Amino acid sequence: MSEIHPEERLLIARAHLGDDSAFEAIVHRFTPRLLWYVRRLGLTEAAAEDVVQNTWLACWTSMARLRDVRRFRSWLYGITRNKALQHIGAINPHETLTGDIDLPTKEPEDSFFQRHGEYLGAGLARLPILHREALTLRFLENMSYAEISETTRVSEGTVKSRLHYAKVELRRQMEVLANE
């Protein structure tokens, strides 16, 4: 499990106990990250804002039921993911959503991706949503395999498999873009 900043851990614990100001501080801290994550899934800015708003409402109403505050981040991202997929609705999660993906500020570790960073955002946009999500959570949100597994409710083996195939497909898409 990735380490949560001690100050955030304290805010989460206080919010878990019903402290409204602590919850408000959490909303302030995590909203930009959640918007960024939802946008990587291919939603428009307006749709991302709706999803995040619905996420905070769900979080507020169920915060007291969070069993382990150390798992807050994967719990929060799991709620966000569910709200985003509900918003996407009938779209098959294996389909590619159209739309621009902003170039991430941090690139995956693989040197191929670093050398071809100009094609990274466009390549991500061409991936099926489950692959895009796996790459986003792992490399851009710095989540561990366990956190991604908990967030997406699939086994760690499935997470590793998705990441492998996502990197292969991203590399292929970036090569196509480079040759266009």
pLDDT tens series, the chain, 180 aa: 456 778 888 999 999 888 999 999 999 999 999 998 998 888 889 999 999 999 999 999 998 888 888 889 899 999 999 999 888 773 445 444 444 444 444 444 445 555 556 677 788 888 998 999 999 899 888 899 999 999 999 999 999 999 999 999 998 988 888 887
* pLDDT for 161: 95
Distance between CA atoms of residues 91 and 86, nearest Å:
10
* pLDDT for 100: 44
* pLDDT for 3: 62
* pLDDT for 178: 82
Q: Which two tokens stand for residue 148?
A: 């991604």
* pLDDT for 70: 83
Q: Please give the single-letter amino acid code of residue 37.
A: Y
* pLDDT for 2: 53
Question: 51, 80 in Cβ contact below 8 A?
Answer: yes
**What is 111-179's CATH number, 3.30.420.40, 3.40.250.10, 1.20.140.10, 1.10.10.10?**
1.10.10.10
Residue 119 DSSP SS3:
helix
Let me know if domain 6-88 sits in CATH 1.10.1740.10: yes
Burial class (CB in 10 A: 0-12, 13-18, 19+), 111: exposed
* pLDDT for 49: 95
What is the DSSP annotation of 16-28?
A: HTT-HHHHHHHHH
> Nearest to residue 133, comparing CAs of 147, 152, 106?
152
Q: What are the domain boundaries of the chain? A: 6-88, 111-179
Distance between CA atoms of residues 42 and 99, nearest Å:
6
* pLDDT for 111: 54
